[in-house]
Amino acid sequence: MNTEPELHEDEEHVMPCAEAMLAGTLALMTGHAQSACATQRDLMGRKIRSNLFFLGQHPGLSPSFRTVVQRMHQHWDVLLKAGDGPAERAALNADDLLPERRLWHSTASLVQ
C-alpha cells in the first residue's frame, strides 16, 4: 500500500489523511474554545467527537496514539451527553446566539 500522498499541481499543501483530520480537529477545538455561540459550540463539539472516533480507528496511527485519541473521544462523548438534557437545550436562548442569529424566526413547530 502506497502511503505517499499524490502530488497535484494546483494544491499548495498535501497532507496524509490522518494528519489532515488531526489538523482539522485541532482547529475545531480552538473554535470550540473561542466561540460565544452555544449552538456553534455544540455543532463543533459533535464534529470533534466524530473526528476523534475516526482517528482512534485509523490504521495509519500508532497503537499508543490511537489509545490516547480513543480516551479523548470518550471524554468528548461524556461532555456532549451532559449537554443533551432538556435544561441545557432550553438554555440556548437568544442571549447566547450570535447577533446575526438573534433576528431569525423560530420554526413553525416552536411558534405554536
8 A C-beta contact, residue 16 and residue 5: yes
Q: What is the pLDDT along the chain (112 residues), one digit of tens a residue?
A: 555 555 555 556 666 788 989 999 999 999 999 988 888 899 999 999 999 999 999 999 999 999 999 999 999 999 898 876 554 555 555 455 555 555 555 666 655 5
The pLDDT assigned to 43 comes to 92
Domain boundaries, the chain: 17-111
Backbone angles phi, psi at 47, to 5 degrees: -70, -40
Which helix (H) or strand (E) element contains residue 38? helix 38-57
